Amino acid sequence: METLPLLYRKVKRKLERILLARHRQRILQRINGGEGLHLEGRIMVVYGENLTLGRNVHIGAGAYINCRGGVSIGDHTILSRHVTIYSYDHNFKTPSCLPFDGDVVLKPVHIGQYVWIGMNVTIAPGTNIGNGAVIGMGSVVSGEIPENAIVVSPKAQIVGYRDAEHASKLAVENRFYQAFWAKNP
């Protein structure tokens, strides 16, 4: 009787490998490059036609890559599990409703060669990461990261403020995103 659970686990592993290979093929059909792509598990790629992968890129399970504004990842780069990359942002500084309107701002992301990105890292729109950089687990990265830099996130900090007068005016006028969404399905 012990052989039945063992056989089940072997068949399950084989089936998982087959399904992952099919998932990899579907992704490769929608992106640019990707020779030698290694997927650790299922990932989500949105706007894959705007994704360019170098050779021998490794992407961990649970990664989410939104390529609306364009994403490029260099040769021999490793993304660990649950990495999130966005290449666009909402108009939140001077929106036509609160908290933001339907306008988007495209901001390409470039990740250099032989970069290591740790687990649960979030890469913000417009980020450029230089060759050989290491991004520590749980970091939120934005802006320019120099070549060979080792980056970890400090604690959260206030980096600026919205225009309070503009936001108050929109709130008084009851101009919230839900209302905008209902008018623009």
- Catalytically active residues are 90
Which tokens belong to 162? 């919205």
> Do you find a cis peptide bond into 99, omega within 30 degrees of 0?
yes
Spatial contact of 123 and 129, defined as CB atoms under 8 Å apart: yes
Angle at 69 between CA 129 and CA 58, to 5 degrees: 50
Which tokens belong to 18? 């087959």
Q: Write the DSSP assignment of 4-68 as a string of letters.
A: HHHHHHHHHHHHHHHHHHHHHHHHHHHSEE-TT-EESS--EEESGGGEEE-TT-EE-TT-EEE-T
